[in-house]
Amino acid sequence: MHPPQTFSKQERLKSRKLIGQLFKEGRSFNIFPFKTYYLFPEERDAFLQAGFVVPSKLFKKAVHRNRIKRLMKEAYRFEKKVLEQSLVNKQNRLAVFFVYTGRELPLFAQVSGSMRSIIQKLTRIVHEKAPVHT
């Protein structure tokens, strides 16, 4: 039996201070339809914390924004295991923020494929980063 694929409270990026730091000091890359911001913070509760946003400028209706965020979280939940494992192995922490930049309501397959590519890229970035010595 497989361990449950969850997105627990500790894994949610909620700290305003950390989110501000992420957008100010973090790095980013684009893989359509997402812009992904990431930062290796000092000490956090979890090895991996994630946040999701869909701009109201692109989607006026909250129903659509919430649907897209649900799809993003679900795709992330399925794909994050590889990234989480590499962070644990390297003893690193990662804060990541996903911004949906597409202009149309996506299908789950599209979101999942893009999320898989993003997670693979982040995993490569984690492996390239020098290990933190404590």
- pLDDT of amino acid 37: 94
CB 63 within 8 A of CB 109: no
How many angstroms separate the Cα of 57 from the Cα of each of 2, 65, 88, 104, 114? 40, 10, 37, 12, 22
Judge whether 133 lies within some domain: no
Write the DSSP assignment of 41-88 as a string of letters. Answer: -S--SSSEEEEEE--TTT---HHHHHHHHHHHHHHHHHHTHHHHHHHH
Weakly modelled stretches of the chain, pLDDT under 50:
1, 133-134
CATH number, domain of 47, equals 3.30.230.10
Q: What angle do CA 50, 55, 60 make, to 5 degrees?
A: 140
Supply the pLDDT for residue 131. 54
The continuous run of DSSP H or E covering 109 comes out as helix 108-128
Look at residue 6 and tell me if it is in a domain.
Answer: no
Q: 99-113: per-residue pLDDT in tens? A: 999 999 999 999 999
In a domain, 78, yes or no: yes
Do the Cβ atoms of 33 and 101 come closer than 8 Å?
yes
Give the pLDDT score at 3. 54
Q: Do 41 and 88 meet the contact criterion of CB atoms below 8 Å apart? A: no
Residue 8 covered by a domain: no
Alpha-carbon distance of 41 to 126, in angstroms, equals 13
H or E element at residue 107: none
Kindly state whether residue 93 falls inside one of the protein's structural domains: yes
Asked if residue 4 is part of any domain, the answer here is: no
pLDDT score at 121: 92
pLDDT reported for residue 74: 92
Tell whether 19 is covered by a domain.
yes
Q: 64 lies in which domain range?
A: 14-128
Distance CA 84, CA 92 (A): 10
Count structural domains, the chain: 1
- Asked if residue 76 belongs to a domain, the reply is yes
